[in-house]
Structure 1
Amino acid sequence: MSRHRPRPVGRFCVSMLIAATGTVHAHDFWVQPQAFQVQPVQATPLMLQVGHGPYRQRSPIALQRIVRFQAFGPSDQGVDLRAVLHPGEVAGDGEVALPRAGTYLIALETDNRAQSHLPSLRFNDYLTVEGLTPALERRRRDDRMDVDETEIYSRHAKAIMQAGPFDAAAQASVTAPIGLALEIVPGVNPYALPRSRTLPVRVLYRGHALAGATVKFTDLDHDDAPIEVHVTDAAGRASFTMPTSGRWLLNTIWIRALPADAEADYETDFSSLSFGFL
């Protein structure tokens, strides 16, 4: 039976238009430092970005929705950085200073209070473009292809930064999962790879390998469309051609149906991993 119950509307609710591929990309969210490779102790501004191409902008997310902002480094595991965030300020949405040489993982996570109501055609397009096949098959199976849907969603973003010279003994923090609901985990440190190598990644959903996730690899300096798109295998793995310059983004989305008595029909998680070279 279709659910057409009233939906609560609050200040965190948004209406997302999914009429074109460019608009679908507006889901993408990531942390972008002014520079990914910096000197130790040097304060570096960062931006919270959303969208691609003509839809790219600074995210309007409110500080109270950010529930986690941490740094994982050579000897500092899970240092709370939330105090350095100030979303919406002219100079940037925050800044970070990495205390010593090594590779660091910066992680940001939001709550799931954001909500969107999607007309049926746009929701179907969204599921198709993002490769969310299980949800699309469920709609067909349950005869819901013409039913509008409501989703709640959260964002899970990681950025890899390098402070000072590369140290092979100080990189483990970027290749281990940190417990995000949806997480892209690189198999190797991007800054350790020589030219013409591949970058293997795993996608984890609620701590388990996620098969069938569409992962996109985008050049952030030419970001109208991703340059590579792969679907994870049974072990949640995919591989990408490794660049040696520029700024880059990996992102993926996953969705699950909620119980009939929930406030929304689906819960969606958006995950990203950004890094860049000098």
Structure 2
Amino acid sequence: MRILIAASGLLLFTSPAFAHDFWLQPESFKAAVDRPLAVTFQVGHGKDRQRWRVDLSRVVALAGYSDGVRKDRKADLRSGGAADLVTSFATPGLHVLAMRSSYAFSELPARRFTEFAEEEGLVRVLEWRRRSGKSDTAGRERYSRRAKALIKVGTLTPANQAIATRPVGLKLEIVPDRNPYALDKTGVLPVHVLYNGRRLANATVKLTSLEFDARPHATAVTDANGRVSFRIPQRGSWLVNVVWSVPVRGDPKVDFDTTFSSLTFGYERKR
């Protein structure tokens, strides 16, 4: 398993592609039973962070998962207000909110696309462009987003926390191997990454504090079993995100299919 690389040692690039990072931001990661919880869709980091200002019809799937139950939550979407989603939870325990967007299309000049691919660790993309003689051409991709948020509702028990470590079937998914809300004193959180249900090796995974989000807190690359571990200060709100891209065959308009995926969770302030 490859364990975290300090972000201070990374060279971060400034490009519009960085704003592709996307996540679910609840007003609180702790909710009461049957009380409304407002959630916004966020994109970008630091000075580029903003609400995801697009037509909510691009949300093609939005669901909540609890102990053995899936509930469609698309009807809870809001347009034009202070929140993108206002929902509530009828049962105590750990709940997972998960969404999937439709495809959008992007074309970046060659240099900026290369910087984006390098920043996200998309080695296969860079190698394909080199072999195909396209390193100096614009990068064309269709991309979509996946996001999960872990919400604590009422009282947690060992049984109703198990959902934290179960995949919910996203195309690209970050799955904790331990519940982030039940870590030991070391604060080590192992996660694995799935792509189409299979463990994904050599994917760059980033951990970012959402209170100090100008750059990642730490970065790691998945091992042969698709795993990385991060040591997490158990305070504040946290984003774990990953990007994966594969060549597209038979479509003259795009070269790559790119998927962005994230996981968010947060801790209450200690008094």
Tell me, yes or no, whether TM beats 0.5. Answer: yes
Cα distance in 1 for partners of 2:124, 2:263 equals 24
Q: What is the identity, as a one-letter code, of the residue corresponding to 1:272? A: S
How far the C-alpha of 1:74 sits from its partner, in A, is: 2.1
**Is residue 167 of structure 1 aligned with residue 160 of structure 2?**
no
Q: 1:82 matched to which residue of 2?
A: 74
Unpaired segments of 5 or more residues in structure 2? 1-11
Q: What SS does structure 2 have at the residue aligned with 1:263?
A: coil
Q: 2:225 matched to which residue of 1?
A: 235
Which residue among 257, 261, 264 is the counterpart of 1:271? 261
**Is residue 40 of structure 1 aligned with residue 30 of structure 2?**
no
Instruction: Give the structure-1-normalised TM-score.
Output: 0.89
Aligned pairs for 1:40-59 (under 5 A) are 40-59=33-52
How far the C-alpha of 1:197 sits from its partner, in A, is: 2.5
Cα distance in 2 for partners of 1:187, 1:79 equals 23
Q: 1:4 matched to which residue of 2?
A: none
Q: After superposition, what is the alpha-carbon deviation per residue over 1:223-252, rounded to whole angstroms, capped at 9, x for unaligned?
A: 001111000001110000122110000000
Cα distance in 2 for partners of 1:196, 1:88 equals 42
Deviates more, 1:141-150 or 1:151-160: 141-150
Q: How many residues align?
A: 257
Identity %: 42
Deviates more, 1:58-67 or 1:216-225: 58-67
Unpaired segments of 5 or more residues in structure 1? 1-18
Q: Say if 2:24 and 2:147, in contact at 8 Å, map to a contact too.
A: yes
Structure of higher RCO (CA pairs closer than 8 Å, 6+ residues apart): 2
Aligned pairs for 1:244-263 (under 5 A) are 244-263=234-253
Q: 1:11 matched to which residue of 2?
A: none
Q: What is the identity, as a one-letter code, of the residue corresponding to 1:73? A: S
Q: 2:93 matched to which residue of 1?
A: 102
How far the C-alpha of 1:177 sits from its partner, in A, is: 1.0
Instruction: Give the structure-2-normalised TM-score.
Output: 0.91
Q: RMSD across aligned C-alpha pairs, in angstroms?
A: 1.4
Q: What SS does structure 2 have at the residue aligned with 1:170?
A: helix
Quickly say closer, same or farther: Cα 1:213–1:87, change in 2 above 3 A.
farther
Cα distance in 1 for partners of 2:186, 2:156 equals 19
Cα distance in 1 for partners of 2:165, 2:80 equals 31
Q: Say if 2:95 and 2:152, in contact at 8 Å, map to a contact too.
A: yes
Q: After superposition, what is the alpha-carbon deviation per residue over 1:165-193, rounded to whole angstroms, capped at 9, x for unaligned?
A: 22111112221111111100111111111
Cα distance in 1 for partners of 2:56, 2:195 equals 25
Cα distance in 1 for partners of 2:190, 2:38 equals 29
Q: 1:7 matched to which residue of 2?
A: none
Q: 1:214 matched to which residue of 2?
A: 204
Q: What is the identity, as a one-letter code, of the residue corresponding to 2:246? A: R
Q: Say if 1:105 and 1:161, in contact at 8 Å, map to a contact too.
A: yes
Aligned pairs for 1:62-81 (under 5 A) are 62-76=55-69, 78-81=70-73
Cα distance in 1 for partners of 2:214, 2:232 equals 19
Cα distance in 2 for partners of 1:61, 1:176 equals 30
How far the C-alpha of 1:75 sits from its partner, in A, is: 4.3
Quickly say closer, same or farther: Cα 1:87–1:274, change in 2 above 3 A.
farther
Q: What is the identity, as a one-letter code, of the residue corresponding to 1:226? A: P
Q: 1:5 matched to which residue of 2?
A: none
**Is residue 155 of structure 1 aligned with residue 145 of structure 2?**
yes
Which residue among 130, 136, 142 is the counterpart of 1:140? 130
Deviates more, 1:215-224 or 1:22-31: 22-31
